[in-house]
Structure 1
């Protein structure tokens, strides 16, 4: 089971190659507006470095959103293009769930701790969800404007780890509660997709390549430059 994994939901452009549920190699770069330029180069470099041919790939997995409109379009378009060209199945992994798995992979999480990935959605709004310490969904994905009352009920009884590129801007309004803790230096990575992609492959949980679209959560808004 060899899977190409793609993560482009944030400023990070990340590609991983996984075999039998283990990461073989990955490449990533955290730089805004670079995805379209380097994503196919990363894929090609990983395939060649592993001594594989594209025909050796069994599936393509992609981080499906929510996140950056442009980033998601590039990642999903690339994944679908590979699936069409290679006649391989497409696997979609929800971005926030993959982020939670990335924290779980680091270990040492108390059983009663909740995980709160956050993706920046401009101003004080974030795309977010809550997961338990095993990655189970506690509060579904939503777009939330964060204030000092956010997560008040959950913070009464649980420690919450906030992380992702939307978390830092929320630190000031949430950190007054001692149960609110922030993970610094977290970056989205295609390596975080590995476990869920392997599970979906084993269960033949595949997407319709022709009709699959990213989970944008909100409509894309076009703004005009100020004069």
Structure 2
């Protein structure tokens, strides 16, 4: 869960309507209207400061909210097996932290997807994921969105993400054969990652006892 304490404020006199802020916002909270950046609904802003950090005219600043609020999805409201199934298809354990800035786990992303989110931007808005550094967690998010049966259609005008990268489950056999003698253990890595994805917290607790 993310506690949102900041919001973006635009100085209309300094704004030149370049749309860079619009392109880098992970939740599409800011847009350019009549050649000026604006937040139609500042409650959509998740306080990541992407827009302020990249504005070439320093026309945007982050200010304290008068009405801070929490963003998150209650995992307990969803069938745990359905959550686990989405995570399994993404080759992730439900307990894995996918966004270290916010602390979002795979199970919460799955819950957001089960509640109706279909895009990375919607998942970010609902969970707060990718509203910290906005960089490191995009790949597992894309895997989760795709695992829930959604097609990935990047916005051609946005900078939010560039497509999925190759994982241990996508490496061609020819590549594995070529590098197998150089200290790479692709199949072993894949088996280990699959084992991690299958671990259940309750089972681990029983083994510790």
Q: What is the TM-score when the length of structure 1 is the normalising length?
A: 0.25
Q: Tell me which structure has the larger Cα radius of gyration.
A: 2
* TM-score, normalising length: structure 2: 0.26
More helix by share: 2
Higher relative contact order structure (alpha carbons within 8 Å, sequence separation ≥ 6) = 1
